[in-house]
Amino acid sequence: MNATADSYVTEDGRTIGGVLMDMRNITLRFGGVEAIKNISFDIREGEIRAIIGPNGAGKSSMLNVISGFYNPQEGEVFFRGERRPQMKPYQVARMGIARTFQNIALFEGMTVLDNIMTGRLNHMKAGLFRQAIWKGAAEREEIENRAHVERVIDFLEIQAIRKTPVGRLPYGLKKRVELARALAADPKLLLLDEPMAGMNVEEKEDMSRFILDVNDQFGTTIALIEHDMGVVMDLSDRVVVMDYGRKIGDGSPDEVRTNQEVIDAYLGVAHD
């Protein structure tokens, strides 16, 4: 796979590279129900890729396939040009795929700082004995990673709540902390499951800005699910549209907007 050959530059000057993740003919069944029916699409390096569709279209299932929670019955997943074998979620995380959840999944008993530090887990190598001694390797490593985490904290403007237990935070901030935890891992691919669900307009604007900034400054590839069509069309480079587990559209926001099948799905035309 040649990354430079098919790379291009967007209107706003970002470079979109070759294919980072390629989903080929994915089919996922729960018992007799087909949640995902033979879907293929790819995610290119550096782009913001959106997956949209009505409720129950299989978007979250798709994200769960990417992050290793579900193993599809058919189809193959290629990551950075190599076929990915069946993996547990933690192995997927170690390949550099981080995600957030639709219903926030933070560690409520820990402080914001500790929560974000957990994102650095896979970058910290000191073993049991070094940590038991602490002075030396473990402490040095902790401080290096703390510095990294502080950059993320600055970036997402949550300095003031560093030492607050997550359980006490309001919803909007929790979402931001969850994003911070995912970012702290330096992911190659960042999956966001409805990052703006339940937010008011100001919070949505903030979150949109963060997503764009992350993509712009760190060059992180992002795949997101979102209901708010306006936001999706503004943010994303390319959009996959799903309905009843099938892919009914794929392309730039403008292409998708004019796709008849997509319009039908969203306006609720009867299926035959």
Partner 1 sequence: MLYREAGDFKTSYAEDNQTFPIKFDRWRYWFVLAVAYLVIPFMINDYWANAIFVPFLIYAIAAIGLNILTGYCGQVSLGTGGFMAVGAYACYKLMTAFPEVNIIVHVILSGGITAAVGAAFGLPSLRIKGFYLAVATLAAQFFLVWLFNKVAWFYNYSASGQISAPERFVGGVAVTGPNTEAWAKYMICLVFVTICAIIARNLTRGTIGRTWMAIRDMDIAAEIIGVNPLKAKLLAFAVSSFFIGIAGALFFAVYLGAVEVGEAFGIQKSFLVLFMVIIGGLGSVFGSFAGAAFLVVLPVALKLIGVDLLGWPTDLVSHFQLVIIGALIMFFLIKEPHGLAQLWRLAKEKLRLWPFPY
Partner 2 sequence: MSTDFLYLVEVLINGLMAGVMYSLVALGFVLIFKASGIFNYAQGVMALFAALTLAGVMEGQVPFAHLINAVFGTEIHHFGWHVPALLAILLTVGVMVIFAWAVQRFVFRHLVGQEPIILFMATIGLAYFLEGVGDLMWGSDIKTLALGLPQGGSRWIEDMTAGMGGDDFYGFFIDKLDMVATVVAIILVASLIAFSQYTKHGRAMRAVADDHQAALSVGISLNFIWILVWSLAGFVALVAGIMWGAKSGVQFSLSLIALKALPVLMLGGFTSIPGAIVGGLIIGVGEKLFEFSVGPLIGGATENWFAYVLALVVLVFRPQGLFGEKIIERV
Among 45, 101, 182, 192, binds partner 2 (CB under 8 A): 101
x-or-dash pattern for partner 1, window 209-238, by CB under 8 A?
------------------------------
Rounded Cα–Cα distance for residues 85 and 102 (Å): 26
* Closer residue to partner 2 (CB): 105 or 143: 105
Give yes or no for a contact between 232 and 226, defined as CB atoms under 8 angstroms apart: yes
84 Cβ contact list (under 8 Å, min separation 6): 76, 77, 78, 95
Residue with structure tokens 């309905």? 243
199 binds partner 1 (CB under 8 A): no
Give yes or no for a contact between 34 and 64, defined as CB atoms under 8 angstroms apart: no
257 binds partner 1 (CB under 8 A): no
- For residue 193, the surrounding DSSP H or E stretch is strand 189-193
Q: Which does 64 bind (CB under 5 to 8 A by kind): partner 1, partner 2, none?
A: partner 2
100 binds partner 2 (CB under 8 A): no
Rounded Cα–Cα distance for residues 83 and 98 (Å): 19
Q: Which does 209 bind (CB under 5 to 8 A by kind): partner 2, partner 1, none?
A: none
69 binds partner 2 (CB under 8 A): yes
Residue ranges that bind partner 2, judged by CB under 8 A: 60, 64, 69, 101, 105
